[in-house]
Chains A and B, each alone.
Chain A
């Protein structure tokens, strides 16, 4: 089913995408690691592949690097088919997870390795390696061995070692995973700056949705070998097209709903909400509402023009410093509500009765894609062009 993969729109800089995958499939024995992926990564783009472990994102990256070959499909880098070319014949370089620095070489030898293999003139190689070492702020550490460096420094060596070859595409496999939080945030900023300065396409694999959201121009969400959705952080967050994406990108409340007509969906308790859609009436869907989109007030506070208003009871209240997170039990389910913190005497306490509501336009329909019983519905939804669905929900 190559036609139904949501490739999204590519912000074109150059006509030729940096990396282009056409129904690329990778099987290991009986296991389908990557399932017919279509993807185009633009020149100069910071592109993230996001998903839980085992979703196929690393395998996809390794196929671009040439460390795995696709079982089926075509893989192009700047228009050239590279499907079965070995890694040393591709204009890409990789920053490996946990860096894979050569332990028997110094920082300088590590960084100059790629140039040496390409038989670049020795003094030229030295100069370029030195430049890169300066660029990643490791000046003066040329003679150290990797085990004499901190995690953050090793990370920089790995980066310099890849970038010194002036790759057309830089692949990064969870490059920040081994760093502690503070260093990670620092490196996120640096990577972003570096990418902008060099103008090289970065393809970045991560399981950390926050990392993907903060750094990338576009994000591809993968799950169980399939590409679920590609789009900017805003698109994925505001208009997830699948239940998985809605859940994975930030947190969300997913309410069971049924399509009534092209403008309305009905919740389990009979409440109606205006969401435009192109689905046949009776289709079971999920209604996604972000925790911070839900308002909370005393009983009777809900405005008349709210999209949906429900009575509920606070079951938990958690103080997070800048905000409060409430668990609210409504009739048939539990909702998570996040609201800015207020004075302690105005906070809601567990056990108190409240009204929850949200405004028009903040809720979105997502297909129920993880239910076997509803697989026919899923196929139907699947057949609808993803961007069409997104537009339908948007209005």
Chain B
């Protein structure tokens, strides 16, 4: 849950560095400095378990992946940590990889846009309800998390299949059965369904914080409903938009489970392709190189995105 809740906090302008008592140090007596140091030490101790966990189970494996991306394969196609080279990175220029990256990008962008368009009005709706109802609606948004992600994807498998409800309805009204399963549309439907809450929650958090009187003031100052949205609500909710789009776009781009189940073999996406390198094709260095590049590009894009939106906020 923390994954969902925390990004909106950081989504806006990074908080100014006022934690460091710069300039105060000379002015305060020594015991206050000592007190300050003790406080920082306490903070560090409290954060230590999380730090340790992240380093051991997150940073170290990432480094291992990065190292393997430069490895060579022996004749049994096993990766060996010797003769480090850039072969895997050269292989990223392949037409196949390029097509997969392109397809993944398009699907991730479409998924993000649909999530944004669907989630925004809903987040606004929740944020403008009375408090008790707001909480109830938020619980409803989170209910899907109580069921296993895989199970929910198989649920869509059933729904979108030729025996599923969509197909039944189209058959019933006489336009024949619908072939949704194993198409890119099915993947988008599944991804939107899966990641919508990650868009709704930060948007809600951002919109809920906006003083409703600002919207009233804009209407009072001759803004139409749309102008009020365009000039007041949207700019003020940008932190939520930024956080939500990142939270949806990033996992969509690397999605594996949903495309595997709903996309079938015809629509290989980045996530599946990487997995295939590690297991199917036994090209661990290529998989590692793909992962590393994907991660760096993502990181870079996120930072740029934050900075840019941070400035316009």
A residues within 8 Å of B by Cβ?
Answer: 65-67, 86-88, 92-94, 96-98, 100-104, 113-114, 116-118, 161-162, 165
Contact status B222-A100, CB under 8 Å: no
Once the chains are docked, how many angstroms separate the CA of A161 from the CA of B224? 17
- Chain A residue numbers with a CB within 8 Å of B17 are none
Closest 9 pairs between A and B when the two form their complex, measured CB to CB: A114-B221, A100-B217, A100-B213, A117-B222, A87-B219, A117-B223, A88-B222, A87-B220, A94-B220
Once the chains are docked, how many angstroms separate the CA of A97 from the CA of B235? 23
> Is B261 part of the contact surface with A, judged by Cβ < 8 Å?
no
From B211, B214, B223, A88 is in contact (CB under 8 Å) with B223
Contact status B213-A161, CB under 8 Å: no
> Is B85 part of the contact surface with A, judged by Cβ < 8 Å?
no
What are 5 A-B pairs with beta-carbon distances under 8 A?
Answer: A66-B219, A96-B220, A100-B217, A104-B236, A113-B221
- Chain A residue numbers with a CB within 8 Å of B232 are 102
Contact status B221-A117, CB under 8 Å: yes
Contact status B221-A165, CB under 8 Å: yes
> Is B301 part of the contact surface with A, judged by Cβ < 8 Å?
no
- Chain A residue numbers with a CB within 8 Å of B222 are 88, 114, 117-118, 165
- Chain A residue numbers with a CB within 8 Å of B224 are 88, 117
Contact status A96-B213, CB under 8 Å: yes
Once the chains are docked, how many angstroms separate the CA of A165 from the CA of B221? 8
- Chain B residue numbers with a CB within 8 Å of A116 are 231
> Is B218 part of the contact surface with A, judged by Cβ < 8 Å?
yes
Once the chains are docked, how many angstroms separate the CA of A96 from the CA of B221? 12
From B213, B216, B225, B235, A104 is in contact (CB under 8 Å) with B235
Contact status B231-A96, CB under 8 Å: no
Once the chains are docked, how many angstroms separate the CA of A65 from the CA of B224? 15
Contact status A67-B231, CB under 8 Å: no
Contact status B231-A113, CB under 8 Å: yes
> Is B313 part of the contact surface with A, judged by Cβ < 8 Å?
yes
CB A349 to nearest CB in B, in angstroms, measures 52
From A67, A102, A165, B219 is in contact (CB under 8 Å) with A67
> Is B78 part of the contact surface with A, judged by Cβ < 8 Å?
no
Contact status A100-B214, CB under 8 Å: yes
**Proximity bits, B231-267, A CB within 8 Å = 1, else 0:** 1100110000000000000000000000000000000
Contact status B313-A102, CB under 8 Å: no
- Chain A residue numbers with a CB within 8 Å of B313 are 104
Most A CB within 10 A of own CB, among B216, B218, B220, B224: B220
CB A87 to nearest CB in B, in angstroms, measures 4
CB A99 to nearest CB in B, in angstroms, measures 8
Known pairs A96-B213, A100-B214; A117 contacts B220 (CB<8 A)? no
- Chain A residue numbers with a CB within 8 Å of B213 are 96-98, 100
CB A109 to nearest CB in B, in angstroms, measures 9
Once the chains are docked, how many angstroms separate the CA of A96 from the CA of B223? 16
Once the chains are docked, how many angstroms separate the CA of A364 from the CA of B219? 46
CB B286 to nearest CB in A, in angstroms, measures 46
Once the chains are docked, how many angstroms separate the CA of A98 from the CA of B213? 10
Contact status B220-A88, CB under 8 Å: yes
CB B217 to nearest CB in A, in angstroms, measures 4
From A86, A97, A104, A161, B221 is in contact (CB under 8 Å) with A161
> Is B227 part of the contact surface with A, judged by Cβ < 8 Å?
yes
Once the chains are docked, how many angstroms separate the CA of A205 from the CA of B88? 73
Contact status A113-B219, CB under 8 Å: no
Once the chains are docked, how many angstroms separate the CA of A162 from the CA of B232? 17
CB B298 to nearest CB in A, in angstroms, measures 28
Once the chains are docked, how many angstroms separate the CA of A161 from the CA of B236? 19
Closest to A88 in B: B222
Since A96-B216, A100-B213, A117-B218 are in contact, a sample of 20 more A-B pairs with Cβ atoms closer than 8 Å, ordered by chain A residue number, is A88-B222, A92-B220, A94-B220, A96-B217, A100-B216, A100-B217, A102-B214, A103-B236, A104-B235, A104-B313, A113-B223, A113-B231, A114-B221, A114-B222, A117-B221, A117-B227, A117-B231, A162-B220, A162-B221, A165-B221
- Chain A residue numbers with a CB within 8 Å of B211 are 100
- Chain A residue numbers with a CB within 8 Å of B218 are 102, 113, 117
CB A156 to nearest CB in B, in angstroms, measures 15
Once the chains are docked, how many angstroms separate the CA of A116 from the CA of B313? 20
Contact status A102-B217, CB under 8 Å: yes
Contact status B223-A67, CB under 8 Å: no
Once the chains are docked, how many angstroms separate the CA of A117 from the CA of B225? 11
CB B146 to nearest CB in A, in angstroms, measures 34
From B214, B220, B235, B236, A65 is in contact (CB under 8 Å) with B220
- Chain A residue numbers with a CB within 8 Å of B235 are 104
Once the chains are docked, how many angstroms separate the CA of A66 from the CA of B221? 11
Closest to B312 in A: A104
From A93, A97, A103, A104, B220 is in contact (CB under 8 Å) with A93
Closest to B219 in A: A87
Closest to A120 in B: B222
Once the chains are docked, how many angstroms separate the CA of A118 from the CA of B225? 13
Once the chains are docked, how many angstroms separate the CA of A96 from the CA of B227? 20
Known pairs A100-B211, A117-B222, A118-B222; A87 contacts B236 (CB<8 A)? no
Most B CB within 10 A of own CB, among A93, A102, A114, A116: A102
CB A173 to nearest CB in B, in angstroms, measures 10
Contact status B219-A86, CB under 8 Å: yes
Closest to B232 in A: A102
Closest to B225 in A: A86
Once the chains are docked, how many angstroms separate the CA of A100 from the CA of B216? 9
Contacting residues of chain B (171-212) with chain A, CB-CB under 8 angstroms: 211
CB B209 to nearest CB in A, in angstroms, measures 11
CB B12 to nearest CB in A, in angstroms, measures 11
Closest to A91 in B: B222
Contacting residues of chain B (42-101) with chain A, CB-CB under 8 angstroms: none
Contact status B217-A88, CB under 8 Å: no
Once the chains are docked, how many angstroms separate the CA of A66 from the CA of B220? 8
Closest to B214 in A: A100
Once the chains are docked, how many angstroms separate the CA of A162 from the CA of B217? 9
Once the chains are docked, how many angstroms separate the CA of A88 from the CA of B225? 9
Once the chains are docked, how many angstroms separate the CA of A101 from the CA of B216? 11
CB B60 to nearest CB in A, in angstroms, measures 42
- Chain A residue numbers with a CB within 8 Å of B225 are 86
Contact status B220-A67, CB under 8 Å: yes
